[in-house]
């Protein structure tokens, strides 16, 4: 983990390094993804079965691709009952938080005979992608399904790669059932994204695809955008801690490593006004590395994308943090709420030394699907808004339109769109002739 004095140049260099992790820089995989998607579009289930055989070493068929009620029941028997209770507690918090985001249609009428409004309609069918492989993330299942359910989406389709035994991880199935998935299919990778985007004999086409995945999944989502909507092109995990001399180095080091353990591409950054804290955090990290199970991954992550930045003052620290626009930001300072009000760019903000980032990953309620790679400057956390569409409503009575029809005709004529002008004019041509 490199310690660097904060300057505009050092911030720029760090940004350039971090942006190299973006899926947009992995063009060498795009041809392979394009071929997979084209094959799925053309051959449907046949392509899904073939790719699952090739990549996952599992035979699936039309009869076995969909998870059955019996398999879900078996999963409940395999998962520790105490974990099921934890999942249910987390669900209460996540659902409660997202229910506050729900919007209603609205309409506004006037005595002049107009009515304007906005009609909120949930998407009809949403696809949720859940990764398999080395790690299992039932928490992500909850975070992707719950806001869709709260939004009122009637059909939620989940895909996830099967294990070598041809089955889905039990905790993933339990989380999906508890959250409200309607259909679950045993297919992963770019081929699953293709199935959700185009539809196959077994898997229905959806309106939107959400959920994290590896580089092939990310590039596939990018490629099918336009056929369907997507949530985002997610990059590796990130944490940035803003801290001053009052911070607890033992806690700060632990929080930085909580994200560094995700994978070798994860980023962990401390920006502090205290050189003493910086040295203490380095020492604490060395101690943690002796006992943490994912030491090799953490060390590579810190070597490549780990930084301790020393700022002259908190305003300078905040300015740098806004430029980096991290996925997760922790504020551990003397006046954390005051600092929070000055911060503009972060996916999620955790305030105070007892609001560590994993609290948000699992339990607090806000969504942990967050913008990465600096996109927190213009993107937001996954929310209920991502699962609805908004239609504008316009009604004018004849009298109301008559009052302003000449204004519209003049505007359209100024743009040389005579058919536009005529569409309005024909409704009042007799009166307008009489006026002349």
C-alpha 335/C-alpha 57 separation (Å) is 54
Rounded to the nearest angstrom, the gap between the alpha carbon of residue 282 and the centroid of all alpha carbons in its chain is 31
Tokens of 79: 């998962």
Task: State whether residue 365 is helix, strand or coil.
Answer: coil
Return d(Cα 157, Cα 398) in angstroms, integer.
46
Alpha-carbon distance of 257 to 327, in angstroms, equals: 15
Q: Which of 178, 238, 284, 327 is catalytic?
A: 327
Burial class (CB in 10 A: 0-12, 13-18, 19+), 185: buried
Cα-Cα-Cα-Cα torsion 299, 301, 305, 310, nearest 10 degrees, comes to -50
Residue of 98, 284, 316, 328 with catalytic role: 328
Q: For 210, phi and psi rounded to 5 degrees?
A: -130, 160
Given a contact cutoff of 8 angstroms between Cβ atoms, the answer to whether 157 and 125 are in contact is yes
Distance CA 221, CA 227 (A): 10
Respond yes or no: is residue 155 known to be catalytic.
no
Distance CA(378)–CA(384), nearest Å, equals 17
- Give the pair of three-digit tokens for residue 260: 């560094």
- What 8-state DSSP symbol labels residue 261? T
Is 227 considered catalytic here? Answer: no
Q: Are 353 and 247 in contact (CB under 8 A)?
A: yes
Rounded CA separation 51/37 (Å): 11
CB-based contacts of 425, cutoff 8 Å, min separation 6: 405, 409, 432
Residues 81/69, Cβ–Cβ less than 8 Å: no
Other CB atoms within 10 A of residue 69 CB = 8
Distance CA 406, CA 154 (A): 45
Task: Report the alpha-carbon distance of residue 322 to residue 121 in Å, rounded.
Answer: 34
Picking from 306, 299, 295, 360, the residue whose alpha carbon sits closest to that of residue 329 is: 360
Distance CA 2, CA 4 (A): 6
Which residues are identified as catalytic?
A: 327-328
């Amino acid at each position: 983990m490199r310690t660097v004095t904060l300057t505009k140049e050092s911030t720029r260099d760090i940004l350039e390094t971090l942006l190299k992790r973006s899926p947009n820089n992995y063009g060498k995989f795009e041809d392979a993804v394009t071929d997979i998607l084209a094959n799925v579009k053309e051959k449907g289930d046949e392509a899904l079965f073939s790719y699952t055989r090739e990549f996952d070493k599992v035979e699936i068929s039309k009869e076995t691709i969909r998870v059955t009620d019996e398999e879900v029941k078996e999963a409940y028997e395999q998962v520790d009952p105490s974990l099921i209770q934890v999942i249910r507690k987390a669900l209460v918090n996540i659902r409660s938080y997202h229910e506050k985001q729900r919007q209603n249609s609205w309409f506004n009428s006037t005595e002049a005979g107009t009515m304007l409004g906005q009609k909120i309609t949930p998407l009809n069918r949403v696809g949720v992608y859940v990764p398999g492989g080395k790690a299992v993330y039932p928490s992500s299942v909850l975070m992707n399904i719950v806001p869709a359910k709260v939004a009122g989406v009637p059909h939620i389709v989940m895909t996830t790669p099967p294990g070598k035994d041809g089955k889905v991880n039990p905790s993933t199935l339990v989380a999906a059932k508890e959250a409200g998935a309607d259909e679950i299919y045993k297919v992963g990778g770019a081929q699953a994204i293709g199935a959700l985007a185009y539809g196959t004999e077994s898997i229905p086409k959806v309106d939107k695809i959400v959920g994290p995945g590896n580089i092939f999944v990310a590039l596939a989502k990018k490629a099918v955008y336009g056929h369907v909507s997507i949530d985002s092109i997610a990059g590796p995990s990130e944490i940035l801690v803003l801290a001053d001399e009052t911070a607890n180095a033992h806690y700060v080091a632990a929080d930085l490593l909580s994200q560094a353990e995700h994978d070798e591409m994860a980023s962990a950054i401390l920006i502090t006004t205290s050189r003493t804290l910086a040295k203490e955090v380095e020492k604490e990290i060395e101690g943690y590395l002796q006992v943490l199970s994912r030491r090799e991954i953490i060390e590579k992550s810190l070597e490549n994308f780990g930084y301790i930045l020393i700022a002259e003052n908190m305003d300078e620290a905040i300015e740098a943090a806004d430029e980096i626009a991290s996925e997760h930001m922790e504020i551990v300072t003397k006046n954390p709420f005051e600092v929070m009000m000055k911060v503009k760019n972060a996916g999620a903000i955790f305030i105070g030394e007892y609001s560590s980032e994993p609290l948000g990953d699992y339990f607090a309620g806000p969504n942990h699907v967050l913008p990465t790679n600096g996109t927190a400057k213009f993107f937001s956390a996954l929310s209920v808004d991502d699962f609805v569409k908004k239609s504008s409503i316009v009604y004018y009575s004849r009298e109301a339109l008559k009052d302003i029809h000449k204004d519209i005709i003049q505007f359209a004529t100024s743009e040389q769109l005579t058919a536009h002008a005529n569409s309005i004019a024909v409704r009042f041509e007799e009166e307008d002739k009489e006026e002349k």
